[in-house]
Amino acid sequence: MEISSVYRSPNPPKNVANSAQMDQFLDHLDNLLSTLSSLPCQAYIFLDSNINALKFNPANPEHFFSIIHENLFSMCIRKATRIQNGVGSLIDYILLNMNPMK
């Protein structure tokens, strides 16, 4: 069994555009999921992406979700993980590989 934790800050470092930070994060996530999906074991990823699945702005959730599904991972959480001032957001995920035995 493989377990990993991933965090993406909602604020990029100085002199880095939001889009560049997002592109870099998505590339790293894709590489991680691809590597884990090639292993013959179950993998769990605890992910604080700060990409709100309940509000498709400003991040690029379509690409985020396609990376998850293309690497044969499934999202175990589909409801709001944070509620603040009566508004829910889904920014925290538990990912599980759907085909752990090749």
CATH number for the domain that contains residue 81: 3.60.10.10
Predicted local confidence at residue 102, as pLDDT: 54
Establish if 102 belongs to a structural domain. Answer: no
Provide mean pLDDT across the span 13-30.
92
Predicted local confidence at residue 60, as pLDDT: 59
Establish if 70 belongs to a structural domain. Answer: yes
Establish if 54 belongs to a structural domain. Answer: yes
DSSP class of residue 13 equals P
Please tell me which residue, 34 or 62, carries the higher pLDDT value: 34
> Model confidence over 45-62: pLDDT tens digits?
999 999 888 876 555 567
Residue 88 CA to residue 90 CA, distance in Å, equals 7
Establish if 89 belongs to a structural domain. Answer: yes
Q: How many domains does the chain have?
A: 1
Helix axes 18-37, 61-70, angle to 10 degrees: 10
Please give the structure tokens belonging to residue 70. 């293309």
Establish if 43 belongs to a structural domain. Answer: yes
Q: Which domain holds residue 12?
A: 2-97
Residue 53 CA to residue 56 CA, distance in Å, equals 6
pTM of the entire predicted model: 0.85
